[in-house]
Amino acid sequence: RRMVAGLGTMALATLVPKSLWAAAIKPDDGSALLVIDVQNCFLPGGSLAVKDGEQVVPVINKIAKSFANVVMTQDWHTPGHVSFASVHEGKKPFEVIDLAYGKQVLWPDHCVQGTDGASLSKELAIPQAELIIRKGFHKDVDSYSAFTEADGKTTTGLAAYLKARNVERLFVAGLATDFCVAWTALDARKASFETYVVEDACRGIDTQGSLAKAWDDMAKAGVKRIKSSDIA
Ligand code: VGL
Ligand code: ZN
């Protein structure tokens, strides 16, 4: 007894299966992993490379083994998409403009339909993924969220798909934390899904305070911030 009492929590953690000692989260049939925009354009060498973006891939591959349901998204823009700085006279990437539907950050050209940059990373190893949602394919409307385009009303159909398949809990991972991951997680809450963001399975762009604001907005919306090691 004294021996056990003398063991620190670190030692206990190595002796006792995680499922018994921590608040391990075990994905069930009502859970889905959403893998957001793990595409070449957002990876090293890509036109909108997210710092350390490649580090999410092994983490996502690992947690995906715990999920029966995996949905991936693909940013999928037309050439000359409204979110590209190149189509706005005198504007540079990362500047913000006002469009009919609200503020729009302008980006380098990225994820153009059918290009290699728009392809999902070849390093993703998630053969059971059952659906790939493409978004941002309307030339005049962006769509960071996997659920709703930036006009705030055009749906991708994802919420209805998930509900039809009795999915209630969503785990969100991928790129970028402060744009497509955050907007997806916020819309997931609006659609009443229990929502987790797996922080070490995401990386952010962080322009003009966007990363801190995204975590703040997600916390306020009831998004739960977890680590991949919390998933059993
Ligand atoms: C994204 C900026 C522009 C993202 C997509 O996947 O987070 N960010 N398009
Ligand atoms: Zn985009």
The pLDDT tens digits for 96-136 are 999 999 999 999 999 999 999 999 999 999 999 999 999 99
Ligand 2 centroid–CA 110 distance in Å is: 6
In this predicted structure, the answer to whether residue 145 has a pLDDT above a threshold of 90 is yes
| Averaged pLDDT of the chain | 94
- β-bridge pairing 224-226 and 194-203: parallel
The residue whose CB lies within 8 Å of the most ligand 1 atoms, and thus the one to mutate among 47, 110, 145, is: 110
State the first-to-last Cα distance of the chain, in angstroms, to the nearest integer. 29
CB 161 within 8 A of CB 19: no
Which of 42, 40, 70, 76 lies closest to 202 in space, CA to CA?
A: 42
* CB of 193 shorter than 6 A to ligand 1: no
In this predicted structure, the answer to whether residue 1 has a pLDDT above a threshold of 50 is no
Residue 93 is predicted with a pLDDT of 98
CB 31 within 8 A of CB 167: yes
**Which range among 4-13, 36-45, 59-68 shows the weakest confidence by mean pLDDT?**
4-13
Half-sphere exposure of 174 (CA within 13 A, CB side): 32
* CB of 175 shorter than 6 A to ligand 1: yes
Question: Of all atoms in ligand 1, which is nearest to the CA of residue 178?
Answer: 7
* CB of 178 shorter than 6 A to ligand 1: no
Give the confidence band of 5 by pLDDT, cuts at 50, 70, 90: low
Ligand 1 centroid–CA 214 distance in Å is: 13
Which is more confident, 178 or 24? 178
Residue environment code for 157-180, b if the CB has 16+ CB neighbours within 10 A, otherwise e:
ebbeebeeeebebbbbbbbbbbbb
Residue 149 is predicted with a pLDDT of 98
Which of 13, 232, 38 lies closest to 118 in space, CA to CA?
A: 38
Residue of minimum CA distance from atom 2 in ligand 1:
179
- ipTM of the complex in this document: 0.99
* CB of 56 shorter than 6 A to ligand 1: no
- Let me know if 63 is exposed, middle or buried by CB neighbors in 10 A (0-12, 13-18, 19+): buried
Q: How far is CA 124 from CA 6, 57, 63, 64, in A?
A: 43, 6, 12, 10
The residues assigned a catalytic role are 37, 135, 180
* CB of 76 shorter than 6 A to ligand 1: no
CA dihedral 58, 62, 67, 69 (to 10 degrees): 20
Half-sphere exposure of 192 (CA within 13 A, CB side): 3
Say how far apart CA 149 and CA 152 lie, in whole Å: 6
Give the environment of ion ligand 2: residues with CB less than 5 A: 75
Give the confidence band of 15 by pLDDT, cuts at 50, 70, 90: confident
Which ligand sits closest to the CA of 179?
Answer: 1
pTM: 0.92
Say how far apart CA 102 and CA 203 lie, in whole Å: 25
